[in-house]
């Protein structure tokens, strides 16, 4: 008797190195691949606008890949448990396969589905398709979890190397008849009124083929210079793999082994660069480790002392930050890059984050929410972890006195102003010496550049020195409370 299994795609939208899909293909007579759009299944963390755009194109790419191996993608919308029950009834499936999720709400939902289906004699199998090392497998010497990255990193490197990536199936056995499927266009994942995604379309091509090409291009062309170029937003020095990784168009094991192989071919310089690059992959692992062991990470301060922090409620300042109208060029460039392309250079993420939570004293949750909606690489673990890191409220957090000076950061990491001129073109005619601090330019220089501060470009919404002093005083209050 031929057995039928459902394979449930989630944030693993690829065929290669997909452990649960490989197991379903090996063990079941025929496989029905399905993706479920559960609008109410992720609590408050429904997919943001940029993520929905990426999802649409990833699903289209995934369906095309499945058709090349003789299969297709079934789309259903609704509560996941109910949709799965319907599909089991319609297909006669006796098994369900998926790759695991690690946040509190998803784990609870998956546990409930497993319990219900196993009670009805449906075989449910889950796998690790998202991480190098699952959160419970990395433990301190005392057997507990980590709160500092360096020992976590060392513990990961001491573990058995992540397994070799699995090949994509050459062929999937399919049922004689297919269950009904929604049309992807009917889900309206793409913006239309207005269509704000022009910059995303120009910057990205989602899907598994593009992910593999992006990885290969980075390793061939930019890995050797990664250590120095990675901090320069004016250079194309990073991998740009984060949105593909967030959607599961590519898996971390694929990146890990490809980088190791490329470094081995290229020599010592590339080897050092590969280690630095792979440390960023382990940083992502650390975020998931924390999310698993501290379930409220996206909503609550990991350090309770921050519950008493004197955040300011300034909606005008928040709006200026969101729109890239703070009057601080490197901050505005980053926020406009985010809005236009759905992505922001990592160095600039730290700069704009520090400016929001320290110079403006806005709660880190405001930044987390905005990034969740606007980033194509929005990832619950990384987003929460990194915002708490920059705020000082999380694990291994930046020291409270580390307040990025955006002028010095701009001058150091965008020395010719190419990045600012790209995203804040109204400042393009300013000389390099004042580009990152236009408020210091004399009237004649501003006039020659066609700039009227407060009109064509805003004056700074805060004084950097005064706001830094205010932030240090605010941090001092909670330090005294903690002591």
Q: HSE of 100 in the Cβ direction (CA atoms, 13 Å)? A: 18
Q: Of 45, 196, 283, 439, which is the active-site residue? A: 283
Torsion of CA 421, 424, 428, 431, to 10 degrees: -80
Q: Which entry of 275, 311, 405, 411 is annotated as an active-site residue? A: 311
Q: Are 388 and 301 in contact (CB under 8 A)?
A: yes
Residue found by looking up tokens 């928040």 in the block: 318
Angle at 314 between CA 309 and CA 319, to 5 degrees: 125
Catalytic pick from 346, 405, 411, 426? 346
| Catalytic residue status for 346 | yes
Q: Active-site residue among 8, 54, 339, 364?
A: 364
Beta-carbon-side half-sphere exposure of residue 279 (alpha carbons within 13 Å): 14
DSSP 8-class letter at 207: S
In 3D space, the residue among 79, 80, 64, 51 whose CA is nearest the CA of residue 15 turns out to be 64
Burial of 198 (0-12, 13-18, 19+ CB in 10 A): exposed
- Cα dist from 353 to 89, 252, 305, 357, 397, whole Å: 49, 26, 20, 6, 13
Q: How far is CA 156 from the centre of its chain?
A: 21
53 is catalytic: no
Query: In this structure, are residues 354 and 390 in contact, taking their beta carbons and an 8 Å threshold?
Result: yes
Strand, coil or helix: what is 148? coil
- d(CA 424, CA 428) in angstroms, rounded, equals 7
Options 280, 295, 411, 426, the catalytic residue = 280
The residue among 286, 7, 325 whose CA lies nearest residue 157 is 286
Shortest CA distance to 253 belongs to which of 377, 98, 385, 134? Answer: 134
H/E stretch holding 98 reads strand 95-99
Active site (annotated) includes residue 280: yes
Three-class secondary structure of residue 298 per DSSP: coil
Q: How many residues does the chain have?
A: 483
Whether the CB-CB separation of 276 and 270 falls below 8 Å is answered with no
Q: Report the distance separating Cα 430 and Cα 446, nearest Å.
A: 7
Is the CB of residue 6 less than 8 Å from the CB of residue 96? yes
Choosing from 8, 53, 54, 387, the catalytic residue is 387
Q: Pull the structure tokens for residue 373.
A: 């909606």
* R_g (Cα) of the chain, nearest Å: 24
Per the annotation, the verdict on 386 as an active-site residue is no
Q: Is 249 a catalytic residue?
A: no
DSSP 475: H
Active-site residue numbers?
A: 280, 283, 311, 346, 364, 387
């Amino acid at each position: 008797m031929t057995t039928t299994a459902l394979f449930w795609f989630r944030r693993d939208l690829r065929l290669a190195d997909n452990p649960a899909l490989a197991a379903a293909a090996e063990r079941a007579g025929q496989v029905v691949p399905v993706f479920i759009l559960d609008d109410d299944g992720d609590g408050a963390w429904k997919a943001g606008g940029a993520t929905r755009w990426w999802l649409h194109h990833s699903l289209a790419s995934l369906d095309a890949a499945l058709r090349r191996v003789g299969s297709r993608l079934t789309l259903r919308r609704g509560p996941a448990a109910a949709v799965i029950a319907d599909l089991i009834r319609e297909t006669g499936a006796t098994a369900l396969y998926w790759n695991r999720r690690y946040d509190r709400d998803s784990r609870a939902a998956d546990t409930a589905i497993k319990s219900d289906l196993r009670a009805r004699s449906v075989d449910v199998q889950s796998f690790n398709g998202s991480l190098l090392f699952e959160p419970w497998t990395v433990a301190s010497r005392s057997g507990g979890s980590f709160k500092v990255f360096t020992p976590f990193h060392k513990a990961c490197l001491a573990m058995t190397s992540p397994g070799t990536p699995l090949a994509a199936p050459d062929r999937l056995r399919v049922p004689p008849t297919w269950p009904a499927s929604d049309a992807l266009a009917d889900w309206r994942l793409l913006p239309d009124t207005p269509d704000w995604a022009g910059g995303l379309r120009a910057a990205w091509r989602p899907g598994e083929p593009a992910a593999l090409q992006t990885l290969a291009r980075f390793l061939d062309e930019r890995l050797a210079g990664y250590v120095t170029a990675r901090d320069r937003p004016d250079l194309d020095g990073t991998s740009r793999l984060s949105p593909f990784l967030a959607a599961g168009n590519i898996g971390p094991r694929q990146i890990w082994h490809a980088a190791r192989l490329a470094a081995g071919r290229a020599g010592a310089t590339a080897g050092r660069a590969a280690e630095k690059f792979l440390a960023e992959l382990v940083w992502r692992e650390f975020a998931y480790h924390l999310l698993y062991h501290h379930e409220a990470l996206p909503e609550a301060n990991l350090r309770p002392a921050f519950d008493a922090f004197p955040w300011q409620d300034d909606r005008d300042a928040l709006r200026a930050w969101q729109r890239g109208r703070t009057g601080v060029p490197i901050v505005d460039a980053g926020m406009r890059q985010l809005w236009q392309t759905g992505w922001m250079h990592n160095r600039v993420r730290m700069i704009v984050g520090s400016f929001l939570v320290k110079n403006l004293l806005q709660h880190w949750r405001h930044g987390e929410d905005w990034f969740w909606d606007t980033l194509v690489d929005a990832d619950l673990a990384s987003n929460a972890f990194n915002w708490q890191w920059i705020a000082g409220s999380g694990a291994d957090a930046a020291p409270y006195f580390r307040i990025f000076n955006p002028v010095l950061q701009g001058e150091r990491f965008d020395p010719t102003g190419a990045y600012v001129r790209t995203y804040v073109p109204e400042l393009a005619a300013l000389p390099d010496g004042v580009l990152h601090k236009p408020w210091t330019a004399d009237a004649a220089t501003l006039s020659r550049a066609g700039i009227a501060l407060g009109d064509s470009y805003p004056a700074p919404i805060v004084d950097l020195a005064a706001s830094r002093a205010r932030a240090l005083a605010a941090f001092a209050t909670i330090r005294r409370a903690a002591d």
